[in-house]
Amino acid sequence: MINRYRARGGLRIRAGVILMAAAFAAAGCTGSSTTPSAAQPSAAAPASAAASASAAAPSAAGEAITLHVLLMKQAAYSDTDVAAMTAAFNVDHPNITIVPEFVAYDALHDKIVTAQAGGGGVYDLILVDTPWPAEMVKAGIITDITDKIPAEFSTGVFDAAWTAAKYNGKIYGVPWINDTKFFFYNEKLLNNAGITAAPKTWDEVEADAKAIKAKGEVKYPIISSWKQAEAVICEWTQIAAAMGGSEFVDAQGKPLFNQGGGLAALKFMKKLIDEGLVDPASLSSTEDDVNTAMSTGQYAMTLNWTYGLNVMNDAKSSKVPGQIKVAPSPGEGSVVTSGVNGGMSLAVTATSKHPAEALQYALFLASEKSQEMDVANALPMWKASFDNADVTKNNPTLFAAAKIQFTGLVARPVVPYYTKLSNALQAAIQEALLGKKTPEQALNDVAAQLPSFQQ
């Protein structure tokens, strides 16, 4: 009896210990995640000062240095491209070892925050998207390099590429990627429906899509990357810009996205879904999913970044190699074309122990020579490259489309509260597309939250 009692009591105690340990572990996992912020405020300022001091006096040649670089493996330069550029860099800098780390775009922002926010900092150089400079400057993650940028960058690089590098008139990154979403189409499917040229307006896109659907070859003529992620914001921004909405908020911080072009774009996107012209699966599709879908030959039109053209036409993975063509993104009314600014810069972190070398490497990657090494996945950001026949000869159509679009890219707002705004807009746009709210209601609800984001 006593033994049975002990056995039961023992089990109860053990079960209790397991329960409590698991509960505390749960809290520890979530709670501990927040600890990095503690050291941040005090760490940022001295690190920044150290960065400036070191940048002025690079390490002596020959001193073995390792740079940790955080990059993206999705659009633009691939890991192979970066490896080739790094090999070229190491010819003159054999003492600098580059340790690149590639993550998916959707993990890049959070990886930077978790790695750098604590002040300990893992990386010397990080890739920064267009809307992030404001928040990362305020968080003390990246450093001011205004006086360290060579003059040729100021005059030779497309203006749009600087958006991801500047905040409040100062430069915090070396512009590296200048990208936007182009209009890609399956030429054969369009021709089969009697369409001989790519649509130039979104009204023409709708009309062409109806013609292709009527032909019966495909169920949904358009596939889009409208997943609840930054992808849907990029596409909505691009269509909004075509419909006259180039600003999310005005100078006073009042919302503009819930009227004019922003509202018209969302209504148009909803209309395309309701008419059965866009595959509803778009709501869970990223840009990579869109590439795969277009490669099946079951879709006629899409928007995507530069790298998409190469992937969709890859004979190894695509059922329609060579059939996917590129054109400038459609405009509407007086807007000839539009493009979301997909530029990204390389920023030296406030915690880097070798900021001068990190900047050297960034400037090398961003140089005209490096950018012209391989233009299959990313277009150069240098204006002169577009007039260099040796560079443009591989894909003159893409360069022609880019030359038009790059002059008028529309940026997502560079504000410290961007990520909060983006998260709210992602959900709101999907609520409208799913019919849970009207486009007006969905965007107005986010507009009502805007003051709380700005606090």
Partner 1 sequence: MTAGTLDRPRQRRSKPWPETWVAAAFVAPAALVILLVVVVPLVRAAWMSLFDIELTSPGVEPFVGLRNYVTQLTSADFWDSVSKALFFTGVTTALELSLGLGLAMLMDQPMRFRWLLRSIVILPWALPTIVNALMWRWIDNGTYGSLNALLAQTGVIHDYIPWLSQDSTAMWMVVLADVWKMTPFCAILILAGLQGIDRELFEAARVDGAGSRQIFRRIIVPLLTPIILVVLVLRTMEAFKVFDIIWIMTGGGPANATQTVAIYAYRTAYQSYDFGQGAALGYLIAIFIMLLAAVYLKLLRRTGA
The secondary element (H helix, E strand) that includes residue 32 is: helix 2-32
Amino acid at 30: T
Count Cβ atoms within 10 A of the Cβ of residue 18 and give its class: 0-12 exposed, 13-18 middle, 19 or more buried. exposed
Nearer to partner 1, 41 or 94 (CB): 41
Q: How far is the CB of 57 from partner 1 (least distance, A)?
A: 27
Q: How far is the CB of 108 from partner 1 (least distance, A)?
A: 12
Q: How many CB atoms lie within 10 A of CB 81?
A: 19
Q: How far is the CB of 133 from partner 1 (least distance, A)?
A: 12
User: Look-up: residue for tokens 């054969």?
Assistant: 188
Q: How far is the CB of 294 from partner 1 (least distance, A)?
A: 10
Nearer to partner 1, 119 or 173 (CB): 119
Nearer to partner 1, 25 or 197 (CB): 25
Q: How far is the CB of 411 from partner 1 (least distance, A)?
A: 19
Nearer to partner 1, 298 or 370 (CB): 298
Distances (CA, A) of 428 to 224, 232, 262, 386: 17, 11, 12, 39
Nearer to partner 1, 94 or 280 (CB): 280
Q: How far is the CB of 107 from partner 1 (least distance, A)?
A: 10
Nearer to partner 1, 282 or 360 (CB): 282
DSSP 385-439: GGG-HHHHTT-HHHHHHHHHHGGGEEPPP--TTHHHHHHHHHHHHHHHHTTSS-H
| 231: three-class secondary structure by DSSP | helix
Q: Is the dihedral of CA 277, 279, 283, 288 positive or negative?
A: negative
Residue count (the chain) = 455
Q: How far is the CB of 54 from partner 1 (least distance, A)?
A: 21
The secondary element (H helix, E strand) that includes residue 241 is: helix 230-242
Spatial separation of the C-alpha atoms in residues 248 and 262, rounded to whole Å = 8
Answer whether 324's CB lies under 8 Å from 300's CB.
no
Amino acid at 318: S
Nearer to partner 1, 268 or 299 (CB): 299
Binding site for partner 1 (CB under 8 A): 8, 11-12, 15-16, 18-20, 22-38, 40-42, 44, 106, 109-110, 113-114, 117, 135, 138-140, 219, 223, 227-229, 279-285, 289, 292-293, 296, 298-299, 416-417, 419-420, 423, 426-427, 430-431, 433-434, 436
- The residues facing 249 across adjacent strands are 255
